[in-house]
Each structure stands twice: as structure tokens, then as C-alpha cells.
């Protein structure tokens, strides 16, 4: 009865073990770990990080922030501004204190926009002194997010992940309590929910895995791991959601796509961190 259809017949004929035809089992959690088996991670201080008070804003105006990242353009190219869709040679579709026909070029990527359009875009974000080019996503300054306050714990547990039998495992435990949304959130003053916390995540305790953890700690400090929004799985709004940096929450299998083995995971997450402006260079900057 286990063998039905052509697959069953072929497998029986080949004498393969029956277990190959059983559905794979979901293994979300590692075997029990006692407190004495948990170790801190060599080269990474502490085992827990709480949300620190928001870095004091320097009180710069949007124009002062943007000036650092822009070059003046005297003769605008014969193109559209991709923010307001007006010609760059015509005034911006947005109003502002300065003449609406000022045009600037972003210094790293050379994309050109109306100054007013960039100011409007900056004011629409979380005004953290950073800017991201809307055309090519190049980041200017240090990008931060709106992750609500919480706690990130990280340590080594003595079990190996599928595909990483040569090393132990880094376990990350995120805990974010529900609360009330701040001015940087979608609905300031309204409460938000936080489902499924504490959330347990896993990395191999390899050299590359430790590098990913160090960068995730930078992402945590910059409030980029979680956001408040609408859950794509449940449709619930005003709830804590993951923010574009994928985590592995399935310890011993890969049925959800958020588990192991996944040989590309560490490279993928490094690329996702880089897209948020977090690379090995950030580790050096953070020490200053």
C-alpha cells in the first residue's frame, strides 16, 4: 500500500528503501539544548543586544542633507525626472522654497533629478540623513530602518545544520514585544501586534556564518531586520514583519524554503545585506 503508481513499482523493483517514498518531516527546532551547552561566539562580544536609544538627529534640513550627495547641474539633460515625470529642463512637479527648476546629480551614480523632487522624496522617508537613488538604489549616507524596540540574542548550540555537518550552529533569538507605533511608522499612535516571537533563526558556525552574524548585528543596530507593515502570509496589518533580509527559521529540514540545506543562503543573505548598505566596510565604520 505504501507503493502506489509507477514510482512505487519502480522503487520496489530497484529495491530502494521504503523511506524514500515517505513525505519528508518538518524539523523546526534543534534537539533540546541545556544552558551549560550554550557558548558565546569567539570574536563577537556579548550574547545579547537590546535596542539602544535612537541616535540623536543632527537637526539638519533636507536641503543640507541632500547637498552632501549632490552636484549642481547647470544644463539639465533633455530627459524626464523619474520622480515627477516632468522634463528636467522644466520646473519640478513639487513645490518648495527654492526655485523649482534647480536640478542636481547624485555624486556616486550620476542620476539626475529636480532638487524639489529629491526633497519631497526625503521628507516622505524616515529622514535619517541617508538617501537612496530611486533609479538604481545606490545608498548615500547610512541607511536606517524603523524596526521597533526589542532584543537580539546570539550564541552557539552544539548541533549541526543539514549541509553543514562540519560545524556547530549559531542560534539567533529575536524578541520584539507589541507596542504603539512611533512617528516613523505607517500609523503613528496606533498599536501594533508582534506574532511568533521569540523567533529562532540559524546560521552555520563557520567563518562565513560568523561574518553574516556580524553584519546582522549592524543591521539590528540600524533597525533594518524588522519593520511594521502588512504580513504577506496572513494579511494582518500593523504587525511586525521581516524586512528584506531573509532568515532561516527551520533548523533541521527545508520544507518551508526557510531551512537547510541551502548552499546559496549565505551568499544570498550577504547580497541582501549589501542592498541595505551593509558590507564588511560597515564593520570598520561601526567601530569609529
Residues that bind Zn ion (CB under 5 A): 81, 83-84, 92, 109, 111, 114, 117, 133, 135-136, 138
Least distance to Zn ion from the beta carbon of 113, Å?
6
Q: Which of 41, 131 has the CB closer to Zn ion?
A: 131
Helix axes 280-287, 207-221, angle to 10 degrees: 60
DSSP state of 153: E
Least distance to Zn ion from the beta carbon of 280, Å?
23
Least distance to Zn ion from the beta carbon of 19, Å?
53
Q: Which of 117, 227 has the CB closer to Zn ion?
A: 117
Q: Which of 46, 72 has the CB closer to Zn ion?
A: 72
Least distance to Zn ion from the beta carbon of 130, Å?
14
Q: Which of 140, 202 has the CB closer to Zn ion?
A: 140
- Cell 531586520 -> residue: 225
Q: Using alpha carbons only, what angle is made at residue 226 by residues 222 and 228, rounded to the nearest 5 degrees?
A: 115
Measured distance CA(30)–CA(204) in Å, rounded: 13
Measuring CA to CA, which residue among 147, 232, 240 is closest to residue 192?
240
Residue 90 contacts by C-beta under 8 Å, 6 or more apart in sequence? Answer: 101
Q: Which of 81, 228 has the CB closer to Zn ion?
A: 81
**For strand 139-140 and strand 131-132, is the pairing parallel, antiparallel, or unpaired?**
antiparallel
Least distance to Zn ion from the beta carbon of 134, Å?
8
Q: How many CB atoms lie within 10 A of CB 135?
A: 14
Amino acid at each position: 500500500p505504501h507503493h502506489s503508481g509507477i514510482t512505487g513499482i519502480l522503487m520496489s523493483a530497484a529495491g530502494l528503501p521504503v523511506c524514500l517514498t515517505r513525505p519528508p518531516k518538518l524539523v523546526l527546532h534543534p534537539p533540546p539544548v541545556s544552558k551549560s551547552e550554550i557558548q558565546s561566539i569567539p570574536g563577537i562580544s556579548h550574547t545579547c543586544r537590546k535596542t539602544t536609544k535612537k541616535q540623536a538627529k543632527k537637526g539638519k534640513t533636507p536641503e543640507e542633507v541632500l547637498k552632501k550627495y549632490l552636484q549642481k547641474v547647470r544644463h539639465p539633460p533633455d530627459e524626464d525626472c523619474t520622480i515627477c515625470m516632468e522634463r528636467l529642463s522644466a520646473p519640478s512637479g513639487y513645490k518648495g522654497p527654492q526655485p523649482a527648476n534647480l536640478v542636481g546629480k547624485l555624486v556616486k551614480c550620476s542620476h539626475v533629478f529636480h532638487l524639489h523632487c529629491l526633497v519631497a522624496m526625503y521628507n516622505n522617508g524616515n529622514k535619517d540623513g541617508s538617501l537612496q537613488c530611486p533609479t538604481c538604489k545606490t545608498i548615500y549616507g547610512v541607511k536606517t530602518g524603523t524596526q521597533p524596540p526589542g532584543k537580539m540574542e546570539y550564541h552557539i548550540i552544539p548541533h549541526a545544520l543539514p549541509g553543514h555537518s562540519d560545524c556547530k550552529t549559531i542560534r539567533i533569538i529575536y524578541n520584539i514585544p507589541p507596542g504603539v507605533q512611533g512617528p516613523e511608522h505607517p500609523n503613528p499612535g496606533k498599536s501594533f501586534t508582534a506574532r511568533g516571537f521569540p523567533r529562532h533563526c540559524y546560521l552555520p558556525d563557520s567563518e562565513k556564518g560568523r561574518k553574516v552574524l556580524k553584519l546582522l548585528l549592524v543591521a539590528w543596530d540600524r533597525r533594518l531586520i524588522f519593520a511594521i507593515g502588512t504580513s504577506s502570509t496572513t494579511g494582518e496589518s500593523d504587525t511586525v514583519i521581516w524586512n528584506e533580509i531573509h532568515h532561516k527559521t527551520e533548523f533541521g529540514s527545508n520544507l518551508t524554503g526557510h531551512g537547510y540545506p541551502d548552499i546559496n543562503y549565505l551568499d544570498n543573505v550577504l547580497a541582501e545585506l549589501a542592498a541595505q548598505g551593509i558590507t564588511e566596510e560597515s564593520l570598520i565604520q561601526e567601530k569609529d
